[in-house]
Amino acid sequence: MKTLWENVLKHISTRMNPSSFQTWFAPTRQASFEDRLLTVAVPDKYFVNWLEEQYRDTIIEILHTLTGQALEIAFVISEVPLSPPISREAFPEASESTISQPAPSVPNVQHDEDPGLNPKYTFDTYVVGGSNQFAHAASVAVAEQPSKAYNPLFIYGGVGLGKTHLMHAIGHTLQDANIPGFRLYYLSSERFMNELINAIRYDTIQQFRDKYRNIDLLLIDDIQFIAGKERTQEEFFHTFNALHNAQKQIVISSDCPPKKIPTLEERLRSRFEWGLIADIQPPDFETKVAILRKKAETEGIELSNEVAMYIATKIKSNIRALEGCLTKIAAHSKFAKQPITMDLARKVLDDILDSTESATAKNITVELIQEIVAGHYKIKTQDMKTSTRLRTIAFPRQVAMYLSRKLTTLSLPSVGKHFGGKDHTTIMYACQKIEALLQNDPNFQQELEHLEQTIRS
């Protein structure tokens, strides 16, 4: 019979990527469950602190879902070494590579190793406009002359504006050049951190360092996530130095310039500013139309200029939202077996466009959302920024997080900053929880609609 903690793990494994699950949850075990307190054994103090800070709220919610009771969770350091003997049968959602080995090793980088590039993200599929022309030109220069043009190249901009696309395009160009012995790797800063933690835990730190310090091109995305993580910053600092001293190319992306990344060590900040800093702004009207036409051409979608201009006029946020609208229209066209017309576009996107247009026109801020939600639930606005887990405060805070994500164009980390520096995973979980409630609770759906109307009015 499964323990309560094993049932919790089954739920958690469906909510997060396999790498994070393997890192934080696979090497844990239920120690005891009595008097409404679930005690979980973990490998060390680092686990205790991290699980308390990042996942406690999520676990409490899952426990309530499973038992219908308000339970508490406590993490203790195991007296015996813990390895992850979790079977695939117990957690079918996790991939084979996630839980098949008790001590995942860090492989040596080989020329034929998968560098983690998306085949769709090339310079040929990137639409250049006034908002991204400088970042594009800098990326092309780096791809043509790695470590000689700009090193490091630091690209920053809002969510969904094409930073990742440019990084992959650089990688593809150099990969296709077939330079003898040339090695490259693309990854997110979160994956860098998770691999580092595994390397420390399983005493494979030298293999980890060999992997990332003996390549010719390192492409690391969303570097802002290492802010405040001292051990990760320390390791990345030395990785940066090793590559830069060896005249190897480094390309970094972030949602803001180095000087605005909070709790980033000064020595890293200064190194990020050694090379070239290029920003990407939201696309102008002409660029948005060109992006839609390019997307339609690539996907084999018949799209008229009239419909493309209509979508470009209405969508104010980012390229991801722009392409998402086109995908939704194309799906309805396919299922209804109708051509894409203006009537179909208006019918399909009416709710999305009205919401986006209204939010942009009213210049909705997180502070406004917090104030209105706090008033509705009769709590103090300042309570939104605390870490208290009292439901009378935690639930309104999650509602405000969801509305902030929906009604503004801020990224998950940016929203988190307005709620007392919450981690992006906390914001993500809050959004998932509210979305689930909306699907199952008609009364709450009406309540949230009322809040949205109040915020927009």
CB atoms within 10 A of CB 245: 9
Query: Which residue type does 60 have?
Result: I
Selected from 1.10.8.50, 3.20.19.10, 1.10.1750.10, 1.10.1740.10, the CATH number assigned to the domain covering 366-456 reads 1.10.1750.10
Return the beta strands (E) in 135-205 as ranges.
Answer: 153-157, 184-188
Question: For residue range 305-337, what is the model confidence (pLDDT) as tens digits?
Answer: 888 888 888 777 678 788 888 888 888 888 888
Query: If you average pLDDT over residues 286-312, what whole number do you get?
Result: 88
If one looks up domain 285-350 in CATH, what number appears?
A: 1.10.8.60
Question: For residue range 81-132, what is the model confidence (pLDDT) as tens digits?
Answer: 665 433 333 444 343 333 333 334 333 434 446 788 988 899 998 988 888 9
282 CB-side CA count, 13 A: 12
Phi/psi at 79 (nearest 5 deg)?
-80, -15
Query: If you average pLDDT over residues 233-241, what whole number do you get?
Result: 94
If one looks up domain 123-279 in CATH, what number appears?
A: 3.40.50.300
The string of DSSP letters for 423-450 reads: -HHHHHHHHHHHHHHHHH-HHHHHHHHH
Residues 108 and 207: beta-carbon distance below 8 Å: yes
The residues, any chain, with a CB within 8 Å of residue 66's CB and separated by 6 or more, are 4, 7, 8, 11
- Residue ranges, CATH 3.40.50.300, the chain: 123-279
Does the domain at residues 4-77 carry the CATH identifier 3.30.300.180?
yes
Instruction: Confirm or deny that 421 is annotated as ligand binding.
Output: no
pLDDT of the residue at 362? 52
CA torsion, ordered 128, 161, 436, 314, to nearest 10 deg: -60
pLDDT of the residue at 321? 80
Question: For residue range 143-198, what is the model confidence (pLDDT) as tens digits?
Answer: 999 988 789 999 998 888 889 999 999 999 999 998 898 999 999 998 899 899 88
CA 185 to CA 275: how far, in whole Å? 20
- Which residue has 């958690």 as its token pair? 12
* pLDDT mean across residues, the chain: 83
CB atoms within 10 A of CB 60: 18
Query: Between residues 423 and 232, which one has the greater pLDDT?
Result: 232
Query: If you average pLDDT over residues 249-268, what whole number do you get?
Result: 91
Q: Which residues pair with 34 in a beta bridge?
A: 37
Residue 28 in tokens: 């844990």
CB atoms within 10 A of CB 182: 14
Instruction: Confirm or deny that 365 is annotated as ligand binding.
Output: no
Instruction: Confirm or deny that 422 is annotated as ligand binding.
Output: no
14 CB-side CA count, 13 A: 9
- Residue ranges, CATH 1.10.8.60, the chain: 285-350
| Residue 222 Cα to chain centre, angstroms | 8
Question: For residue range 58-69, what is the model confidence (pLDDT) as tens digits?
Answer: 898 889 888 888
Query: Between residues 205 and 107, which one has the greater pLDDT?
Result: 205
Instruction: Confirm or deny that 324 is annotated as ligand binding.
Output: no
Using alpha carbons only, what angle is made at residue 211 by residues 114 and 425, rounded to the nearest 5 degrees?
75
Query: If you average pLDDT over residues 439-454, what whole number do you get?
Result: 82
| Confidence label for 352 from pLDDT (cuts 50, 70 and 90) | low
Q: What is the DSSP letter of 225?
A: G
CA 226 to CA 397: how far, in whole Å? 25
Residue 153 to residues 122, 166, 449, Cα–Cα distance (Å): 17, 11, 44
CA 193 to CA 226: how far, in whole Å? 8
CA 129 to CA 140: how far, in whole Å? 15
| Confidence label for 368 from pLDDT (cuts 50, 70 and 90) | very high
pLDDT of the residue at 81? 64
Burial class (CB in 10 A: 0-12, 13-18, 19+), 366: buried
Residues 218 and 251: beta-carbon distance below 8 Å: yes
CA 15 to CA 165: how far, in whole Å? 25
- Whether residue 357 is predicted with pLDDT greater than 70 in this model: the reply is no
Percentage of residues in the chain with pLDDT exceeding 70? 88
CA 80 to CA 236: how far, in whole Å? 31
CA torsion, ordered 185, 188, 193, 197, to nearest 10 deg: -60
Query: Which H/E stretch holds residue 196?
Result: helix 189-201
Query: Any idea which of 21-25, 303-307, 330-334, 397-401 has the lowest mean pLDDT?
Result: 21-25
- Residue ranges, CATH 1.10.1750.10, the chain: 366-456
- Which residue has 């630091």 as its token pair? 154
- Whether residue 356 is predicted with pLDDT greater than 70 in this model: the reply is no
Query: Which residue type does 277 have?
Result: I
Query: Which residue type does 64 have?
Result: H
Residues 84 and 102: beta-carbon distance below 8 Å: yes
